[in-house]
Structure 1
Amino acid sequence: MRLAARLSLALLFACPLLIAAQDAPPVTWVDQATGHRIWRLSPEPQSSGFYFNNNAYSPDGKLMIYTAPDGIHVLELATRKTRLLVPNPPHDPGADPMTRYRGNVHAIVVGHKTPSVFYAKMDPETHRNTLYKANMETGEITRLVPLPEGASGVATVNADETLAAGTMNDGPPVAPEYGANRVSPTGTPRVQQAPTGANSGTLVQPEGKGEMMERRLASRQPLILFTLNLQTGKMNTLLHSTDWINHLLYSPSDPTLLMYCHEGPWQKVDRIWTIRTDGTQNTLIHKRTFAQEIAGHEFWGIDGKTLWYDWQPIKGEDFYLASYNVETHQRRAFHMERNEWSIHFNVTKDESLFTGDGGDPGQVAKAPDGEYIELFHPEMKKVDGINQPDFYQPGMFRAEHLVVMSQHNYKLEPNVRFSPDKSLVIFTSNMFGPSYVFGVETAKAVDAKPGEVMSTPELAKKFNPVAKPGPTPGVK
């Protein structure tokens, strides 16, 4: 569930008065450099959108889930009104951060069939980690099933909302901890006390992540990949493995198809896999053909048939967003320049637009000028020569800057996604200090009033005058 990567506990619990005293950033402005209008969608400091590949929208596309220190919230996209849907329970003020964290609700994903957000919390009666769902429209809460003994959580729910999937230890841990950041044997980083200021927010990358990933990969901890029936609680084991399994994600349209990855430094793993929920057809999606080739940050297209991933045939030198269709087996690869590469990408339902969240010079692309929310216009290249069905069909991205992110600290990944009507690119940023959820319009602004057109970096400095730390070292 990448639970600890969704926290910044020190600021959440140690500095509430600092956050409350700070003036709220503006609700809207037009980025002077790009001409696109930006909206601050969440009013709560330390709020955050979902990880980029987890569905956050109700099936009708009208509602979006985000999280904040007080619980799980709903955003009405048409009106931009927000409301608290599932509150965190009250806590003892003297409780330590881990105790508070364990008592909170933990959003997982929004269903593709019903307007339900699935989440986990500790059952107050049984004291077991248990799955629930909340209706985004009515607020009705339904208790589902407890997690299997030994499972720290589940990461995804399938298209017809009958199965969840997760991993758990297959035997005792190999070692009590993996480095200073204390990563669990299943690979989920445990709670880290994050710094305040520009690094604050949820989905913050832990210090020393690269070293942790090396240790975890080398440990060969035995794991079970399992599904969990949300009606009966029955667990089904899909496979036993000593590979580090992570990033589970069901197809949005096929309830029997699960994607997962072999986690670790990308150049040391064949990362992207799919498997059927009966344990058959365990399939490697991208087989490397270069030394130092990397592929990762995989996600499903909205059709549930196309897998997309960041592909670099030579790590840090050549950059593509690649795709694989699980039905036709067709492959495509859209080329981009170094400064256009992004940590995460996303795509509209009709594949007419793509987006990326950029990266600072410390990321794998080492881009000297890459700190932007990007809009990509795809263009397929004409093929005039030898071609085969298993060849990548070539394309390129024509990039357009949406937001200047030079005051954003990329320790917090923005995790871009399109709104269902593709009018907004939604992302999380700490450019103002505390994190908020923002949306930037994909069309150029035509209604800007006097005083609304501002330099985004200069505006951010007024609320977060502390100098931004240097680039974050890449961890791929």
Structure 2
Amino acid sequence: MKHFLGLLVLFSLGVSAQGDPPVLMTGEGGTMPGEWIDETTGHRLVRLTDADDTRSFYFHNDPFLPTADGQDNLMVYYGEVDGDLQLFTLNLQTKETAQLTTQPGRKHGEIVAKNRREVFYQIRDTVFATHVDTKVTREVFVFPDDFKAWITTLNADETKLAGTWSSPEKDSILEAYPKKSEFFERIFDAEILHKLFVVDVDNGFLEPIHSEQTWLGHVQFSTTDPNTLMFCHEGPWHKVDRIWNIDLATKDITKIHERTVHREIAGHEFWSRDGNTIWYDLQIPRGETFYLAGYDTRSKELRKYAMDRNEWSIHFTISPDQQVFAGDGGDPSQVAGAEDGRYIYLFEPRQDSLASTKLVNMQHHDYQLEPNVHFTPDQQWIVFRANFEGSSHIYAVAIKPYP
């Protein structure tokens, strides 16, 4: 079974081996060629995976790391093998792929440790790490019977994993009401005990660090400070003060965003590359005015970049040089209610607003699968996942228009 398309080797050349790619409506009629020009936007797309049901990482989980010799870049992703999703690497320059995992069972975590050159993940109650080069897998930690929980993030010096624990009542609600539309309000209203915890990667020491009688989630370590952990109060965004930081040394918590009006919402937060800013979707109030906001953790100042309703995206991300952003758009069922928002976007800050460029027309994509955009390390492409061919594949779109 193939998990790649040979066109990736052409990334640095900017030309197709067969001449100019065809100009097509993305996703129209289902199956697309391996490479094409989006007729709406004029940008080139390449399918990175041929096998059905391949998935790129969640928007704030960085999937990239250099090759062992530092010459190329690898992307870690999920691919289905015999009914299980396994982790793979794809060399973005040579098109080579390698399967990292073989264990059965659903995998959680998807954390790339660039210095250790390992990928951390969890199967049931056990955390594993697989080395990207040697493929050697080690057992990192087994959760005890009285503390079953999930890891979600690794700190900047790669010494501690973190995640959330919840009382069994939450699992009971999820089992009885598996759809998000059914469990979301129920879990929030139940005021279930949750705990944040860290696990030492080398000695397996488990330490609960914070507890609240409310739903905690979206846990992310700072990209640069190994002692700063961001978390959120989950639930209806207009009912919660969502974004918080905790200092691992002092256990002090800090509210990141103070709401100013009724039904104001802030969420889908993520760290800047330098660890100085927390970026998030801000609406004042919900569904009416839209911003990409950045809270400076040093100066405590807030920047707000306004955008049009149609430019609102489920998730945003920032480029490696921190100069531009990308977004994955949304359909009319999302909070923005955008009638023409189904695009992959590039955003450039212009004073107090964002100038947008449409990269991919996503009108044939079902947004129940979130695209989750990522800049490639060279900032020439944006990687995303989509189902406009009928199953989930991973794609890359060139940031520059096709010549």
TM-score by length of 1: 0.73
> Does the C-alpha gap of structure 1 residues 279 and 25 become closer, same or farther in structure 2, counting only changes over 3 Å?
farther
Task: Report the Cα offset of residue 178 of structure 1.
Answer: 4.8
Residues 238, 263 of structure 2: 8 Å contact kept: yes
Counterpart pick for 1:81 among 96, 101, 104:
96
The residue aligned with 1:52 is 59
Task: Report the Cα offset of residue 294 of structure 1.
Answer: 0.3
Counterpart pick for 1:138 among 118, 134, 138:
134
Name the aligned partner's letter for residue 216 of structure 2. I
The residue aligned with 2:15 is none
Task: Report the Cα offset of residue 35 of structure 1.
Answer: 0.8
Name the aligned partner's letter for residue 227 of structure 1. V
Structure 2 CA distance for aligned equivalents of residues 406 and 51 of structure 1: 21
Residues 229, 246 of structure 2: 8 Å contact kept: yes
Verify: 1:113 aligned to 2:120, yes or no.
no
Residues 429, 438 of structure 1: 8 Å contact kept: yes
- Corresponding residue SS for 2:326: strand
Counterpart pick for 2:188 among 217, 233, 237:
217
Task: Report the Cα offset of residue 421 of structure 1.
Answer: 1.2
The percent identity for this pair of structures is 39
Structure 1 CA distance for aligned equivalents of residues 169 and 370 of structure 2: 30
Residues 173, 186 of structure 2: 8 Å contact kept: no
Task: Report the Cα offset of residue 349 of structure 1.
Answer: 2.2
Verify: 1:423 aligned to 2:394, yes or no.
no
What's the CA shift string for 1:324-366, capped at 9, x where partnerless? 1212323211110011111000111222211100000111111
- Corresponding residue SS for 2:391: coil
The residue aligned with 2:293 is 322
Q: Which runs of 4+ in 1 moved over 6 A?
A: none
The residue aligned with 2:173 is 177
The residue aligned with 1:42 is 49
> Does the C-alpha gap of structure 1 residues 32 and 430 become closer, same or farther in structure 2, counting only changes over 3 Å?
same
Counterpart pick for 2:234 among 258, 263, 280:
263
Verify: 1:331 aligned to 2:302, yes or no.
yes
Unaligned runs of 5+ in 2: 1-29
Higher relative contact order (CA 8 A, sep 6+): 1
CA RMSD of aligned residues (A): 1.9
> Does the C-alpha gap of structure 1 residues 176 and 131 become closer, same or farther in structure 2, counting only changes over 3 Å?
closer
The residue aligned with 1:246 is 217
Residues 270, 279 of structure 2: 8 Å contact kept: yes
> Does the C-alpha gap of structure 1 residues 304 and 413 become closer, same or farther in structure 2, counting only changes over 3 Å?
same
The residue aligned with 1:398 is 355
The residue aligned with 1:442 is 399
Unaligned runs of 5+ in 1: 1-22, 90-102, 123-128, 183-206, 381-394, 447-476
Name the aligned partner's letter for residue 223 of structure 1. H
- Corresponding residue SS for 1:376: strand
The residue aligned with 1:66 is 77
Residues 155, 164 of structure 1: 8 Å contact kept: yes
Name the aligned partner's letter for residue 336 of structure 1. M
Aligned residue-pair number: 365
The residue aligned with 1:166 is 163
Residues 252, 300 of structure 1: 8 Å contact kept: yes
> Does the C-alpha gap of structure 1 residues 334 and 87 become closer, same or farther in structure 2, counting only changes over 3 Å?
same
Task: Report the Cα offset of residue 159 of structure 1.
Answer: 1.2
TM-score by length of 2: 0.86
Structure 2 CA distance for aligned equivalents of residues 104 and 222 of structure 1: 25
Task: Report the Cα offset of residue 239 of structure 1.
Answer: 1.1
- Corresponding residue SS for 2:187: helix
Structure 2 CA distance for aligned equivalents of residues 178 and 47 of structure 1: 25
Higher strand proportion: 2
Structure 1 CA distance for aligned equivalents of residues 170 and 328 of structure 2: 36
- Corresponding residue SS for 1:86: coil
Counterpart pick for 1:432 among 377, 389, 393:
389
Verify: 1:157 aligned to 2:139, yes or no.
no
Structure 2 CA distance for aligned equivalents of residues 25 and 313 of structure 1: 40
Structure 2 CA distance for aligned equivalents of residues 73 and 425 of structure 1: 19
What's the CA shift string for 1:158-190, capped at 9, x where partnerless? 1111111112135x52783258534xxxxxxxx
Residues 239, 279 of structure 1: 8 Å contact kept: no
Task: Report the Cα offset of residue 143 of structure 1.
Answer: 2.2
The residue aligned with 2:316 is 345
Residues 57, 63 of structure 2: 8 Å contact kept: yes
Verify: 1:409 aligned to 2:366, yes or no.
yes
Name the aligned partner's letter for residue 161 of structure 2. A
Task: Report the Cα offset of residue 30 of structure 1.
Answer: 0.8
- Corresponding residue SS for 1:359: coil
Residues 151, 167 of structure 1: 8 Å contact kept: no
Task: Report the Cα offset of residue 107 of structure 1.
Answer: 4.6
Structure 2 CA distance for aligned equivalents of residues 423 and 181 of structure 1: 42
Task: Report the Cα offset of residue 231 of structure 1.
Answer: 1.4
The residue aligned with 2:14 is none
> Does the C-alpha gap of structure 1 residues 404 and 174 become closer, same or farther in structure 2, counting only changes over 3 Å?
closer
Task: Report the Cα offset of residue 155 of structure 1.
Answer: 0.9
Which moves more between the two structures, 210-219 or 433-442?
A: 210-219
Name the aligned partner's letter for residue 412 of structure 1. L
> Does the C-alpha gap of structure 1 residues 180 and 147 become closer, same or farther in structure 2, counting only changes over 3 Å?
closer
